[in-house]
A = this chain, B = another copy of it.
Amino acid sequence: MSVLRIALAQVDLVVGDLDGNCAMVRDRVRQAAAAGAQLVVFPEMTLTGYPPEDLVLRRSFRRASCAALTALATDLAAAGHGGLGVVVGYLDTDGGPRNAAAFLQDGQVVARYFKHHLPNYGVFDEDRYFKAGDQLTVVRFGDLDIGLTICEDVWQDGGPFAAAAVAEVGLLVNINGSPYERNKDDVRLTLLQRRAVEARSAVVYVNQCGGQDELVFDGDSFVVDADGTLLARAPQFTEGLYLVELDLPVSTGNTATRAGELAVARYRAPLPPVPVTGPLAEPLGIAERVPDEAEVWGALVTGTRDYAVKNGFSSVVLGMSGGIDSAVVAAIAADAIGGENVYGVALPSDYSSEHSLSDAVQLAANLGAPLQTVPIAPMVSAFVESLKLTGLAEENVQARVRGTTLMALSNQHGHLVLATGNKSELSVGYSTIYGDAVGGFAPIKDVPKTLVWQLARWRNAEAVRRGEQPPIPENSISKPPSAELRPGQLDTDSLPDYELLDRILALYVDSDAGFDDLLAAGFDEELVTRVARMTDAAEWKRRQYPPGPKISLKAFGKDRRLPITNRWREHGPAAD
């Protein structure tokens, strides 16, 4: 057996920022070297960021990725870190675009691995971009044999994990760009434990941590040994360099004889000795799992912060209606970029209740957020009088005057506009396009209304636990929800009770359930038909909705690709 000190680089990446991502790698390698690490492992597509989408189709970008890899190897050696083994993800061009991992040492690209299994479901389009690999790469690092794998390789049977068992590797590295979904962390761990046993090898799983448009990466990097025991686990949504020390079996010399069929063997100089240094040298324990609400909150804050920051915004603006949705969005934004950077706008109309303003004032005070009040009556009257509007047209003009006001303040002051719609509303189309739907980012787009309330209660309780002011006004949580577009209006005038609605939507939207499935789940026929109709009819509005962080199995966006022009309607039992 031989001891190996490994640094898991659970880092944030920026898509397209080859220079910035390489600089981050150099910093983290320097830090790892100071902590006595011998091997540093970065996430999938470290240099390009993930997912680079159609940038992969651009020759200039592919070339730049390959050039950046070579330069990085040279730079690391020049900085005196040539002795470390460094695993990074990048875009290769060998025989076609490749989702690749490289092992760097002594200024060289020692070995390359091309991802075998390319996901092409959910939010993933990897068959669009990459040519699949078909060989396991094994690096002989000192007296150890280390196999390289990438993300989806672990989710499919066969492929490199099966090959690794035959090749008798001592360690498998799996680098990831694995987006957050509720409960996915449990699935990942169980799966990796099974793969470790199959491969008869310890596995180091490293995932990135940060937001990229609609995706949030939660990190959750961990290490399991060859019998599947969890040895170490990093916290979710927390960037860092996490150290582990593994006692690994030395090479059986087997890979060389089997090279060509299953494995590419590479030979390296012995490892340098492990120096022991300061606090960073503290090995990673097993981070505690947090409650579901904390996990979701972490995803929403990370997604919102990274969308704003990576797109050059230091402040946001949103309408504060006194309702629960805008209160939760404001609290997320405050946790993401600081309450003082969250600009609230109260936009009262003649139909606004008294508490709508007082609750907004309290919210802003709780967050330390600046609040401005803009009565919408003058603008609304100008439209209603010019156009002789009535009914729905008049209701929608109120929402659109609010949207135009927020956009004008964004144009004037450079804030990012946040849309405050939740997944339940977005599903059934209970929102006004170009009205409350305006914005650059929509933090709770994938959060059902019932979970919005749950998150509000959790966040307030969390504040109490920390001895802080609960951010969300109690009245915003407890009052019945209303769009306040006409006197005395309540959401329940148009929609079923949210508890019921969200249970139907979880099946119809998130799980592709049909009419029969919904009846079998015990829902009323008329209600199912109504909810399905409303959801189908709102597709065109969803297409024009801003992006927001995915937290569910199926978020609106590239996760769910339904036609707008679509006459399919769920109805009575289909003939078999």
Contact = CB atoms under 8 A, between A and B. Distances in A.
A516 B212 CA distance: 28
Interface in A408-429: 408-409, 411-412
A434 B440 contact: no
Interface residues of A, number: 89
Interface string A551-569: 0000000101111111111
A63 to B, nearest CB: 5
B565 A514 contact: no
A374 B386 contact: yes
A127 interface: yes
A17 interface: yes
Contact of A545 (B14, B67, B544): B544
Nearest to A558: B561
A540 B416 CA distance: 12
A568 B16 contact: yes
A51 interface: yes
Interface string A361-393: 000000000000011001101110111011011
A60 B212 CA distance: 34
A568 B61 contact: yes
A213 interface: yes
A284 interface: no
Interface string A91-104: 00000000000000
Contacts of A71: 575
Which one of A306, A311, A374 has the highest number of Cβ atoms from chain B below 10 Å of its Cβ? A311
B393 A386 contact: no
Contacts of A161: none
Interface string A162-186: 0000000000000000000000000
Contacts of A440: 540
Interface in A32-87: 51-55, 57-61, 63-64, 67, 71
Contacts of A59: 512, 514, 517
Given A378-B385, A404-B397, A563 B55 contact: yes
B411 A404 contact: no
Contact of A438 (B18, B434, B545, B564): B434
Contacts of A558: 561
A156 interface: no
A296 interface: no
14 contacts: A18-B568, A52-B563, A54-B512, A63-B576, A64-B574, A121-B128, A212-B563, A307-B565, A374-B386, A374-B387, A393-B409, A397-B404, A401-B404, A543-B547
Interface of A: 14-18, 20, 51-55, 57-61, 63-64, 67, 71, 120-121, 125, 127-128, 211-213, 306-307, 310-311, 374-375, 378-379, 381-383, 385-387, 389-390, 392-393, 396-397, 400-401, 403-405, 407-409, 411-412, 433-434, 438, 440, 512-517, 540, 543-547, 558, 560-570, 574-576
Given A58-B512, A389-B408, A544-B545, 12 more contacts: A58-B513, A59-B517, A67-B574, A67-B575, A120-B128, A310-B567, A379-B379, A383-B408, A403-B434, A434-B434, A547-B564, A558-B561
